[in-house]
Every structure is written in structure tokens, then in C-alpha cells.
Amino acid sequence: MDVTVRRAAAADWKSLTEVDAIAAAGDEARADAIRRWCEQDLVLAAEDESHRLVGYVTLEYTFFEQGFVTMLMVDAGARRQGIGRRLLDAAKTSCTTEKLFTSTNVSNLPMQQLLQHAGWTATGILHGLDEADPELFYLSP
């Protein structure tokens, strides 16, 4: 799939809630987070040839003042086509700090595989955020 990654506009948040499986299922807190991220200019969005948004990545600097990929989401129908990798690469390119981190749950095997294929290094594990599902932390190459 041919995609373009661009900075998301504040108005893109509604379309991104349709891309995000959790927000699309009715989670208002996630929808509010997407709106806030877009308004704060923290989102890079992937769009296909028809200008339909198919994924997004959120890059913040609240993790020990280092870059942190807070969220990466690809539309369910567009997965396994390289969009997640393109979004990770775009986040790395636009990151303004020396280091870029992210995390994912132990149960999220697709994200772990994406990070490993993209050359990210596992750096630690944190218990207690989600019950019985530790958080794995990664550092960008």
C-alpha cells in the first residue's frame, strides 16, 4: 500500500478515532486523548492514495524529557503492509531528542515483532500498570 506520512491537523482527530480500534469501539477516554494529541500537534498520520487515514503515531517528550512513542495504531484492514514501520520511522526522523523510547504490553505480540524488525532494543519491563500484563520498554536504534 502506498502511504504518505504527514503531520496530523487538529481536525483529523475524528477520522483517527475511526482508525483506532479502542476509540472506534466507543472508548470516550481514547477519543479524547486522540483529540488532545492532535490539538497539541503530537500526531503523525498515515494516509493512503485516496487520502484516507490508515494509521497514526503519537510522539511526546514527557518520558524523562526524551522522545516517547505514546501510541501507534494502524487500521485493522491496513495492517501487515508496512504502515506501522513507516510511522515508527517518521517518529524517529521527527524526534528532537537523542533518544526515542516506546513501550507495549507483553500480550501485544504484533507490536513486539514490529519493534524487533525495526531494530528497536528491549530496555526493561515494568509490572503494575496493567493487571497481569507487564509493560515492555524499547529504545530506537
Can you give the pLDDT at residue 70? 97
Can you give the pLDDT at residue 128? 94
CATH number for the domain spanning 18: value is 3.40.630.30
Residue 5 pLDDT > 80, yes or no?
yes
How large is the average pLDDT for residues 17-26?
96
pLDDT, tens only, 78-101: 999 999 999 999 999 999 999 999
With 0.85 as the threshold, say if the pTM is over it: yes
**38 φ, ψ (degrees, to nearest 5):** -65, -45
Cell of 127: 509490572
Q: How many domains in the chain?
A: 1
How large is the average pLDDT for residues 5-12?
96
Can you give the pLDDT at residue 12? 96
Alpha-carbon gap, residue 126 to 136, rounded angstroms: 7
> For residue 59, what are the domain limits?
4-139
pLDDT, tens only, 34-61: 999 999 999 999 999 999 999 999 999 9
